[in-house]
Structure 1
Amino acid sequence: MPALDPILADIDRDLDTSLERLFAFLRIPSISTDPAYAAECRRAAEWLRADLAAMGFEASLRETGGHPVVLGHAPKANAPHVLFYGHYDVQPVDPLELWETPPFEPRLVTLPDGRRAISARGACDDKGQVMTFLEACRAWKAIHGELPVGVTVLIEGAEEDGSKHLPEWVEANRAELKADLVLVCDTGMWDRDTPAITSSLRGLAYFEVFVTCADRDLHSGLFGGAAANPIRVLSRIIADLHDAEGRVTLPGFYDGVRQPPPEVLERWRALDLTPESFLGPIGLSVPAGERDRMLIEQIQSRPTCDANGIIGGYTGEGTKTVIASRASAKISFRLVDDQDPKALDRSFRAFVQARIPADCSVEIVTHKGSRAIALPFDMPALGAAGRALAAEWGTAPVAIGSGGSIPIVGDFKRSLGLDTLLIGFGLDDDRVHSPNEKYDLQSFHKGTRSWARILAALAEGT
């Protein structure tokens, strides 16, 4: 294995120049959700293609039904091959007046606690994170002339718009995307000095429920007490979804939910995530999930059910005494392990239908969901990446589950048969999707060094 120390030294020497490259990337307003910025999205893609080509990748733009995909290949014979995924598009910047500096004029700022940070839209999500990986590849190429493993880089331009066309594109290009493992840098650290590997992602099932009772809105003084009220019907359905202990009551809901190994639970317990530290900053103090589960389990490894909205009746200013004819609710479930979205769909529909009065009707709309993704706890690449991160940060990384969902990771598993290591260097205070987004300079610098180490560890297979 070629020496790693000269590569790390090159990353340190080249930090200012690597920031110049990142700033050039950040200046491109690649807002994927606004058609007015379509040309800027293509410009960002072309910038990436040129940067990859300058490093010696075989790089090209590939068309989709939306913004183009950037694809780069750097094969290596008789070595593992990784597929790196990221995105070059960014969120809109509204409200613009809340930005302290222009969102597409990146700069280094000093935070109140003395930390240095990169301020710009996309600094963390995901341009800064993408560039940590590319800068690590650049250092390997500069010092040793080649990468220690084969690398395919896939950077899309519509992640913030739901990756609408990417699953179809991945399925159509399976042969060209052949690899041993997927790497993603679009997640975060446990804290400023403790790295993390996201070892599982919760899946998602999402429903809209429309309950209709009378054929028109009714005067509550004339019909109150006799006419069925769809808001009351929906409220009962939502209330019945949980018991007094915080468990979801759908029949079969916990089928496929596995218990983490005792040693994993012990590591999570040692993290000492408390209601004060997690809920306190948002004005709450009492965990609302399953009472017999640790807070950290509630947010990352246990399935959930939430009412995301309820609509019905008069909601304007003042009073209007009506019984609504129709009411609706939006309800989502976060899934874990082997929970089956199709089985959940059947159970939820039966649960709702059983609570609809005989003279009322219900329509249930199922939106596209995704299954949960989990890495085997004994996966060799997980251990190799963990040791590489520990060597860089001086502390062992935390293997955590993410409460959120990244559907494309599921598509990589289904279409390519590949597991994904999610390793990112974002922090909770990076203001992702908000005004004044930032990315700590330490996250960028040590993130780059971390990827250089991880590539070496994956090459060695230990």
Structure 2
Amino acid sequence: MEDRIEQHFIKERIHHLEQLSALLRIPSISALSTHKSDMVQAANWIAESLREAGLEHVKVMPTKGNPVVYADFLHAKDKPTVLIYGHYDVQPVDPVELWENDPFDPTIREGKIYARGASDDKGQVFMHIKALEAILKTKKELSVNVKFCIEGEEEIGSPHLPEFVSEYKDLLSADVLLISDTTMLGPNAPAICYGLRGLCALQIDVQAAKSDLHSGLYGGAVPNALHALVELLAGLHTKDGKVAVAGFYDDVEPLTTEEREALAALPHDDETYRKQLGLSALFGEPGYSTVERFMARPTLEINGVYGGFQGEGTKTVIPAQAHAKITCRLVNHQDPQHILDLIEEHVRTHTPEGVTIQVTRFDTGRPFVTRFDAPAIQSAAVAYEAGYGVKPYYMRMGGSIPIVEVFDRILHVPIVLMGFGLPDENFHAPNEHFSLENFDKGLRTLTYYYEHLETV
């Protein structure tokens, strides 16, 4: 990296952290309608930051939900165009009593900045803006063309962005899509993510009698909603951890030898992993390593079960209702709606006598996988090595960013998932934070990427 850009980052560091803190103070929680005005404020803040950085054609564009922020700088003739995607919305902060500081009062301690959105995804979006600003303020030009698409609904599944991308696909056309909303493997262990699992979610509601019943008067003579639900849930898996829903694995392609070798090369130790989680043993689908299970295999998880009396002490009732929430992580060609169809059919086929079942569907997102030898991804590897001094790993990520598959399907553009968060930074949880070491190294890595993408 050129010395004048390095000196710019050194000179502006305190100012950058003050600016980032100002963005983090905006409680842009997309899941809560009470924060609608905060969503607009955050979008306008991003737009103004892009203008100050020197980007052009900055727009806060309406959708049927929260606005999308667009900007570009298109003066590098015959050079590639990079579309940068991110989001300015954040998760709710509950349980707030577990935070060590106000979630929207950014606090720096021990080399980390603590606030909701610090890592996911405001901090990482902000880094892209400041990397490009550094180049523009020191060199007055870019080696590539850039466009920004920053949305405000990622944390609720991006319900309106597919329509936006489809409507404005010419405006968003690019040669590379660059996203920083994933994690590294650990401190000074950068990783390029070449695959994301998809998602589908549902709720099962069981109804037995019309109301709770006295267990002394009715016990042994009527169905128990919780018993029925437990029986249903137990039948979703085999004892060795495989999903027992018929057809669940039909569209899953086997991992290639190359992929298995790349995943096996990741610095993971089962025993350390087990101890960190406080477990007596690990568990999962047979025939696969722990890394393969949480990065590259599909899952069906019970997220919550409730019904009957849950207060202090005891209450002798037979519950009339019981409920369960379930999510699946999907891979390869698994279609979320088809998987939901299969689960619903399984549930109805195995419904115990005497109860009725209602299935409610929620969020869905398709999986995404790309070639990790693609030129744009290899350029990211070179940039990581320049910024961190080590070669990056290649990995899939077990989580989901549903809009990635939408970009892939509509824009037909290579996608580079180049994150700077750490797995233990508590995104979606109390005390979310972002490493300032990765903030500093990430700025330099991104600058190198933008400066050298043209050579790939």
TM, length-normalised to structure 1: 0.89
Give the aligned partner of residue 348 of structure 1. 343
- What amino acid is aligned across from residue 65 of structure 1 in structure 2? K
The answer to whether residue 85 in structure 2 is matched with residue 90 in structure 1 is no
Alignment of 1:5-404 (within 5 A): 6-54=4-52, 55-75=54-74, 76-93=76-93, 99-109=99-109, 111=110, 116-357=111-352, 359-404=354-399
CA distance 1:422–1:37, change in 2 (3 Å): same
CA distance 1:206–1:90, change in 2 (3 Å): closer
CA distance 1:134–1:310, change in 2 (3 Å): same
CA offset digits 1:267-297 (Å, max 9, x no partner): 3223342333323233213222113211111
SS at match of 2:203: strand
**Count of residue pairs brought into register by the alignment:** 454
The answer to whether residue 444 in structure 2 is matched with residue 444 in structure 1 is no
Which moved further from structure 2: 86-95 or 256-265?
86-95
Q: Is the 8 A contact 1:207 1:365 kept in 2?
A: yes
Q: Is the 8 A contact 2:49 2:129 kept in 1?
A: no
Alignment of 1:385-424 (within 5 A): 385-424=380-419
CA distance 1:231–1:138, change in 2 (3 Å): same
Q: Distance in 1 between the 2:256 and 2:2 partners?
A: 34
Q: Distance in 1 between the 2:209 and 2:105 partners?
A: 56
Q: Is the 8 A contact 1:385 1:457 kept in 2?
A: no
SS at match of 2:350: coil
Q: Is the 8 A contact 1:8 1:452 kept in 2?
A: no
Which moved further from structure 2: 76-85 or 162-171?
162-171
CA offset digits 1:314-344 (Å, max 9, x no partner): 3333333333333222222111111122332
Q: Is the 8 A contact 2:55 2:71 kept in 1?
A: no
- What amino acid is aligned across from residue 52 of structure 1 in structure 2? L
CA offset digits 1:28-86 (Å, max 9, x no partner): 44344445544443333223222222314221111223332211011233222121111
Q: Distance in 2 between the 1:90 and 1:367 partners?
A: 19
Q: Distance in 2 between the 1:218 and 1:56 partners?
A: 66
SS at match of 1:188: coil
Q: Distance in 2 between the 1:96 and 1:323 partners?
A: 34
CA distance 1:174–1:282, change in 2 (3 Å): same
CA offset digits 1:163-191 (Å, max 9, x no partner): 34333322322221112222111221111
Q: Is the 8 A contact 1:233 1:355 kept in 2?
A: no
Alpha-carbon offset, residue 140 of structure 1:
1.9
Identity %: 40
CA distance 1:122–1:377, change in 2 (3 Å): closer
Structure 2 unaligned runs (5+)? none
Q: Is the 8 A contact 2:204 2:324 kept in 1?
A: yes
Which moved further from structure 2: 315-324 or 444-453?
315-324
Alpha-carbon offset, residue 161 of structure 1:
4.3
SS at match of 1:349: helix
Q: Distance in 2 between the 1:118 and 1:105 partners?
A: 10
Q: Is the 8 A contact 2:83 2:147 kept in 1?
A: yes
The answer to whether residue 452 in structure 2 is matched with residue 453 in structure 1 is no
Q: Is the 8 A contact 1:201 1:405 kept in 2?
A: yes
Alpha-carbon offset, residue 208 of structure 1:
1.7
Alpha-carbon offset, residue 93 of structure 1:
4.6
- What amino acid is aligned across from residue 74 of structure 1 in structure 2? F
Alpha-carbon offset, residue 306 of structure 1:
1.1
Q: Distance in 1 between the 2:87 and 2:171 partners?
A: 19
- What amino acid is aligned across from residue 51 of structure 1 in structure 2? S
TM, length-normalised to structure 2: 0.90
Q: Distance in 1 between the 2:318 and 2:105 partners?
A: 53
